Amino acid sequence: MLYKLKNNIELKCGFKIKSRGDCIVLESIILIETDMFISYNTLRRFFGVVRGTFPSKKTLNILSKYVGYKNYVEFCMAYPKKRNWRINEDIYRNIIIDPNNALTIIQQELIKLDDYLEILITLICRLIIEKDITILRRIFNSTLLNPKQFNYSELIFFGNCVGPMISQVNFNTTKLIKTKYFTKTIFNSYIDLNSLNTNYGLYAKKLSEISNDRQEILFSNCLLQLKNKLNNKKVINIDTSLSADEIHPILYGRYMGTFIMGNDNLGVLKTKFRDFLDLISNKKAKSDFLYEFVFASILCRNLGLLHITFKETTKYKISKPYYQEYHYSLFELGHAFIQLDRGKKIHKEINLIKTKSFFRNSHKDFATLFISILEYHNSNKGKKELSNYKKLAQRLNFPYLNEDYCISYFNHGKLKGKIYTELTKKQV
């Protein structure tokens, strides 16, 4: 903070302190403005004109008062915030008139992610609206967006702020596919299921063709198979050379989910499911493994698999950081389907899910659709509830989610009764 205090003093007095004469002039200025005396020799030592020791508390307090603070402690506490205010004012002013300069200011003046993340989001959204590919490429090649600086919750927050803007303006993201960090920060964190038939799906297809990263290829292929499922096309089992330990837990759950989408073979499901449960039994991030798997079970109306998944995993104790709020909401949704399948009325559960649960932007429309199915069957198949479902399904515009999908949800699946029995049998 001493360096920052020196800079503030020089900014206020209007000249650099480099000589004995400068210190004499500054001594007089401080006396006039603060009515407090500090000798020019003390100032010489403070500014390094001559060699000296660490300044005293009294010296620091006088100098802090000169630049507008009560004392040095207040300067240390308040200065970073006030400095960022000034910088942010400059950035916001330039976002409209000179966005390229706004980015330069961010890069030069703001160091910590906490200081620049939100204002960078504002700049990116403005550039997306303007479709300014040149500056966007500069941003997504910048170390500002190196994922190593983010924790997972920050990455999700970033994706959930920028992702919806991309969808709303129909921005062609494939133009950013060769940047260093767009895939890692936006494509991987904001799963835009609504756009699988358009922008997001096109990006996934292109990435699967050009990427050398095996996890990116696996992730893209999982999304493309989900797209096939939603369009009533054949779902193909995905092969990967990655071991389970090399795959991110959430991606591994998504990978296992593709087997639910593409298999009616009880033997295949049984083997995959048992291997999956054995794998996660010794893992810490159990909810990370489970939540895309649970999503696939709900989507595919595989209630038998949903029953046994929850039965086998109720003993797990799971932590709940920000990014797992959606996991818990999805698990509550899965429990509601199970309760309704058992013949129970779930008015209270539906209300809690609608009012208390947190569904991220990229999955919110699907979650709302699933809730409408619960409401339809919980209301003895009311016309109003079916009409609500049809409106939501029409907005998503996937052939798989037709009217019959809702009406026959709890009657679907020749494996519904058999799978629960078979999967609970002890292994021989």
In contact, 307 and 338? CB cutoff 8 Å: yes
Cβ count within 10 A of residue 278: 10
Strand, coil or helix: what is 406? helix
196, 141, 136, 198: which is closest to 162 by C-alpha? 136
Question: Rounded to 5 degrees, what angle do the CA atoms 192, 230, 349 make?
Answer: 75
Here the tokens at position 410 are 């709890």
Three-class secondary structure of residue 379 per DSSP? coil
pLDDT in tens, the chain (428 residues): 677 788 889 988 989 999 999 999 999 999 999 999 999 999 999 998 998 788 999 999 999 999 888 998 888 777 656 666 677 778 878 888 888 888 888 887 776 777 788 889 999 999 999 999 999 999 999 999 999 988 887 888 899 999 999 988 888 999 999 999 999 999 998 999 999 999 999 999 999 999 999 999 999 999 999 999 999 999 998 989 999 889 999 999 999 999 889 877 777 777 888 888 888 888 877 888 888 999 999 999 988 888 888 887 766 655 554 446 667 788 889 999 999 999 999 999 999 888 877 777 668 899 999 999 999 999 988 899 999 999 999 999 999 999 999 999 998 644 454 555 555 554 43
**Residues 392, 364: Cα–Cα separation, whole Å:** 11
Cα–Cα nearest to 34, from 55, 9, 3, 5: 9
| 273 CB-side CA count, 13 A | 29
Question: Contact 222/208 with Cβ under 8 angstroms?
Answer: no
d(CA 18, CA 347): 76
> How high is the pLDDT of residue 82?
62
Neighbours of 205 (CB within 10 A): 15
pLDDT on residue 124:
94
Both tokens assigned to 411: 């009657």
Cα gap 235→228, rounded to integer Å: 6
In the chain, where are the structural domains located?
2-68, 244-423
- Specify the DSSP class assigned to residue 98: -
C-alpha distances (whole Å) from 54 to each of 2, 10, 19, 46, 47 are 10, 19, 19, 8, 11
- Please give the C-alpha separations between residue 106 and each of 7, 159, 410, in angstroms, as whole numbers: 19, 19, 54
CA quadruple 424, 258, 306, 273: dihedral, nearest 10: 20
Q: What is the pLDDT of residue 414?
A: 44
In one-letter notation, the amino acid at residue 148 is K
How many helices (H) and strands (E) in the chain? 22, 0
79 φ, ψ to 5°?
-60, -50
Q: Which two tokens stand for residue 418?
A: 């058999």
Residues 142 and 134: their CA atoms lie apart, in Å, by 13
Q: Which amino acid is at 164?
A: P
Distance between CA atoms of 205 and 211, rounded to whole angstroms?
Answer: 10
How far, in Å, CA of 203 to CA of 390, rounded?
Answer: 28
Using only C-alpha atoms, the chain has a radius of gyration, in whole angstroms, of 29
The Cα 204–Cα 192 span in angstroms is: 11
